[in-house]
Amino acid sequence: MTVSLQTLDVRPILKAGGEPFPEIMNAIAALESGQGLRVLATFKPVPLFSIMQKKGYAHSEKELGGGDWEIVFEPGAKAPVAAPSTQPVAAAAKSEQDDASGWPAPSRSLDNRGLMPPEPMVITLEAIESMAAGEVLEAWFDRDPLLLYPELRTRGHQTDCEKRGPSEYRVLIRCAARPGSAS
Q: Are residues 97 and 169 in the same domain?
A: yes
Looking at the structure of the chain, the number of domains it has is: 2
Do 15 and 37 sit in the same domain of this protein? Answer: yes
Label residue 180 by pLDDT band (50, 70, 90): low
Asked, for residue 84, whether it belongs to a domain, the answer is: no
pLDDT tens-digit map of 53-100: 888 899 999 999 888 999 999 998 654 334 444 444 444 444 456 777
Q: What is the pLDDT of residue 109?
A: 95
Residue 18 is part of which domain span?
A: 5-75
Q: pLDDT per residue over 119-156, tens digit each?
A: 898 899 999 989 999 999 999 999 889 889 988 988 89
Residue 157 in any domain: the answer is: yes
Which residue from 66, 39, 45 is spatially nearest to 117, judged by alpha carbons? 45
User: In this structure, is residue 35 part of a structural domain?
Assistant: yes
pLDDT grade, residue 110 (50/70/90)?
Answer: very high
The answer to whether residue 46 sits within a structural domain is yes
φ/ψ of 139, rounded to 5, equals: -130, 135
Report the alpha-carbon distance of residue 150 to residue 159 in Å, rounded: 10
